[in-house]
Amino acid sequence: MSELILHNIGPFIRDSLLIYSTPFVAAIVAIGLLWLLIQRPNLVDKEGNPTPPGPPIRFPFLRRYPERPLFRWAKQYGPIYSVWMGTQIFVVINDAQMARDLLVTNGANFSSRWSYFVKNQTILNGGGITATRYNDTWRKHRRIGMWLLNSKAVRSYAEMIDYETHILARALYESSKGGQVAIDPAPHAGRFALNTMLSLTFGSRTVTASDPLVLEALRINIEFMRLTGPWTNMIDFVKILQWLPTTTRYRARKLHFDVIAIYGAMMLRTKARMDAGDDVPDCLAKTLIECQETEQLSWEDMCFIVGAFTIGGVHSTSGVIEWFIALMPSNPSVQAKAHKELDSIVGTLGWPKADDETKLPYIRAIVKEVLRMHSPFWMGTPHCSDEDFVYKGYYIPKNSVMILNVYALHHNEERYPDCWTFNPDRYLGDTLSATESAKQPNALERDHWAFGAGRRICPGMEMADNELFLALARLLWSFTFHEVPGETICLDEYEGLSGRTPFPFKVVLKPRHENVRDIVIEKKEVVKHVV
């Protein structure tokens, strides 16, 4: 038929069609195939329930600032929607009550982790608590971790937190030469967070921000945060790439061995000291070594548990302190209000202590507001479902990755009026700690979602809350915070693809009164064996 038509049309048109039709048809076929490849599948269960709505195409990855499309889609598709990344479905939760219904009430089904190729399979090899599926191994590792992070244990760290927050203020005072030079606060915030974590994991600390251990641990942290964004790596979603020698695969494998090398070496030295009969302070490494046999822990298990604790605890806590310092210069009225509270309750002769917390509601409110405005993890750490589930008429297939859309939850205008403004006043009257707040039956009343939700909720939240309160209270008591003239501190863009920290910036810290110097330099740096 087509030959007949070709024969009967003019030779010019016929030749043109012959010349041009082959690429044209090929292009149509290619577009068709591409569409088949990228259009999202519309799955339904046996009862005909569809998966939650969402964008019509699949994505290979979303690299920078994925919270921005996530937020737009929440407005377009509603409180629960789904997104396809390659062959994997992600269910995105944008509503507080739904987060509670799914991740807390139905936590038995929504507490696993998906096997991300880069983070879970290659770097952590399913270990480190955070990458472990919801199973008996996770229960065991988390139980052991909680020996060091339950409320009683955390109370016993009060002295250590008191000391490290003191050293943080001292380091900032000294490196800024009493307010005369502008400084980059990041290495000091990093060392503070690293020292609290090293005290917890190895009973040790570092003495300068340029200590090789500080630099190596911070490098590992940054590499981890750059490599483990929940939607960053195409290799996570396009399986064929996992077999190719890509740079991402190479970096992930290298990081795996770096974590084992640095934390394994520290574990070995702790063991050697224990074997030699030294008085090793109580810490996670000692606990793991002591219970290795009874709990049947492999050496790799132990390295990744201490590694994940240290990486998780350092980057997030130091990031929050950096965001706090970055926020202060453009919020002089917040500083003034905090100073008024501190001066009236604490005075200038002494400085804030841990047990002043209930008397300093505005400082507590600042901690919560920094965590709301600048949560380190806008997409939480994704959970994963173990079984098919139907929620409000939507089908959530087994092995769906569940994203807690912290960015959307924290920018809900009804819950947080004028949500784009840094306003600690919104938390005045909220007397609950982050841990207590997360347990409230009414999810809409929870302070914020920075620590995640459900059975995988951050086990270090009580520790982090205590550290942040005292660090922020003491920094506010000691300094006023100013921008370097002509150098605006960027609050919109950030570093990191999973944990967020501000771009490097400098700040001027002016001591508030004569007593600052006397108090901050009173404590000397103590060398505790770096294992």
The Cβ-side half-sphere exposure at 274, using a 13 Å CA radius, reads: 17
Note whether 118 and 236 are within 8 A (CB): yes
Confirm or reject binding of residue 464 to ligand HEM (CB under 6 A): yes
Stretch of residues binding ligand HEM (CB under 6 A), selected from 80-88, 218-226, 360-368, 456-464: 456-464
Confirm or reject binding of residue 451 to ligand HEM (CB under 6 A): yes
Confirm or reject binding of residue 129 to ligand HEM (CB under 6 A): yes
What's the min distance (Å) between Cβ of 111 and ligand HEM? 8
What's the min distance (Å) between Cβ of 392 and ligand HEM? 21
Tally of residues, the chain:
531
Confirm or reject binding of residue 456 to ligand HEM (CB under 6 A): yes
Number of residues that bind ligand HEM (CB under 6 A): 29
**Residue 322 has which token pair?**
């950096």
Choice from 307, 380, 424, 502 touching ligand HEM (CB under 6 A): 380
* 273: CB partners within 8 A, 6+ apart: 280, 529, 531
Confirm or reject binding of residue 224 to ligand HEM (CB under 6 A): no
Confirm or reject binding of residue 502 to ligand HEM (CB under 6 A): no
Confirm or reject binding of residue 127 to ligand HEM (CB under 6 A): no
Choice from 84, 90, 163, 309 touching ligand HEM (CB under 6 A): 309
Taking only Cα atoms into account, the Rg of the chain, rounded to an integer number of angstroms, comes to 26
The DSSP secondary-structure symbol of 357 reads G
What's the min distance (Å) between Cβ of 167 and ligand HEM? 17
**Residue 478 has which token pair?**
């000691």
Confirm or reject binding of residue 433 to ligand HEM (CB under 6 A): no
Confirm or reject binding of residue 133 to ligand HEM (CB under 6 A): no
Nearest to ligand HEM of 52, 313 (CB atom)? 313
CA-wise closest residue to 453 among 95, 131, 175, 179: 95
Choice from 185, 307, 313, 496 touching ligand HEM (CB under 6 A): 313
Confirm or reject binding of residue 142 to ligand HEM (CB under 6 A): yes
Confirm or reject binding of residue 452 to ligand HEM (CB under 6 A): yes
Please check if 419 is assigned to a binding site.
no
Note whether 360 and 341 are within 8 A (CB): yes
* 39: CB partners within 8 A, 6+ apart: 56, 57, 58
CA 87 to chain centre: 25
For residue 258, give the 3-state DSSP assignment: helix
For 242-269, b/e burial (b = at least 16 CB within 10 A) is eeeeeebbebbeebbebbbebbbebbeb
Choice from 231, 304, 324, 377 touching ligand HEM (CB under 6 A): 377
Q: In the complex, which residues of this chain contact ligand HEM (CB under 6 A)?
A: 129-130, 142, 145, 149, 308-309, 312-313, 316-317, 320, 376-377, 380-381, 383, 450-454, 456-460, 463-464
List binding-site positions.
458
